[in-house]
């Protein structure tokens, strides 16, 4: 399934992948490693391009400076192509999930350098909000949820005083914090943000993406 951002040209700036610093809370155990996804030996899923890490640190500070401080909880970051294929196959095997739903959630792994899956570039990150004590906030739908519940504005029409209304407010808070550092959100995933990849360039009307598929992917 082609994405509207695939025609965007890529001019990779050569930035390295960096491990996320200790300032970030990580989802443990890593969700895809726990399923048996085939990460090459020594591959850290919690790594991103240098500028992406720097921008995430800005977001972390924005959240900590709020009257009711929060922090980011990183679910997934760098994802090799073999892991992408594993998750496509894993989702296909779930009962009642259509092929259309699978390909709406997961970018089909591609070795074509002009259409890299976002997470293979080191520019995309899946994350949520957590308390200072590390407790994840309820966002009204799990990361990687299939169907409309994962869409950012799924609860937009809910009563603000209801649980659903609070979910929408939290999704908006996460979006504003990430947007303040230049990230863009996936149009159909409240948890997926990126900076510097094709999706980012398409959404921000930049002339090109800064990152192609990492050599480690």
Using alpha carbons only, how large is the chain's radius of gyration in Å? Answer: 17
Whole-angstrom CA distances from 178 to 42, 72, 114 are: 29, 10, 26
The 3 state secondary structure assigned to 101-151 is HHHHHCCCCCCCCCCCCHHHHCCEEEEEEECCCCCECCCCCCCCCCCHHHC
Please indicate whether residue 15 is annotated as part of the active site. no
141 contact partners, CB below 8 Å, separation of at least 6:
149, 150, 154, 167, 190
Dist. CA 111–CA 115, nearest whole Å: 8
* Burial (CB count within 10 angstroms: exposed 0-12, middle 13-18, buried 19+), residue 128: buried
CB atoms within 10 A of CB 152: 19
Dist. CA 192–CA 145, nearest whole Å: 12
Catalytic residue selected from 54, 108, 179, 189: 189
User: So which residues are the catalytic ones?
Assistant: 189
């Amino acid at each position: 399934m082609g994405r509207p951002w695939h025609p965007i040209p890529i001019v990779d700036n050569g930035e390295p992948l960096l491990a996320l610093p200790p300032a970030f809370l990580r989802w443990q155990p890593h969700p895809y490693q726990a399923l048996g996804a085939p990460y090459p030996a020594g591959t850290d899923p919690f790594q991103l391009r240098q500028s992406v890490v720097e921008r995430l640190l800005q977001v972390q500070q924005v959240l900590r400076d709020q009257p009711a401080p929060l922090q980011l909880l990183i679910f997934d970051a760098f994802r090799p192509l073999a892991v992408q294929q594993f998750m496509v196959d894993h989702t296909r095997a779930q009962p009642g999930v259509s092929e259309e739903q699978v390909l709406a959630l997961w970018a089909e792994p591609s070795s074509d350098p002009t259409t890299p899956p976002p997470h293979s570039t080191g520019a995309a990150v899946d994350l949520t909000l957590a308390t200072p004590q590390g407790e994840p906030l309820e966002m009204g739908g799990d990361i990687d949820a299939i169907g409309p519940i994962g869409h950012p504005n799924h609860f937009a029409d809910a009563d603000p005083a209801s649980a659903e209304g609070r979910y929408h407010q939290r999704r908006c808070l996460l979006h504003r914090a990430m947007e303040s550092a230049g990230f863009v959100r996936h149009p159909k995933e409240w948890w997926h943000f990126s900076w510097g990849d094709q999706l980012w360039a398409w959404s921000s009307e930049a002339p090109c993406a800064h990152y192609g598929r990492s050599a480690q992917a």
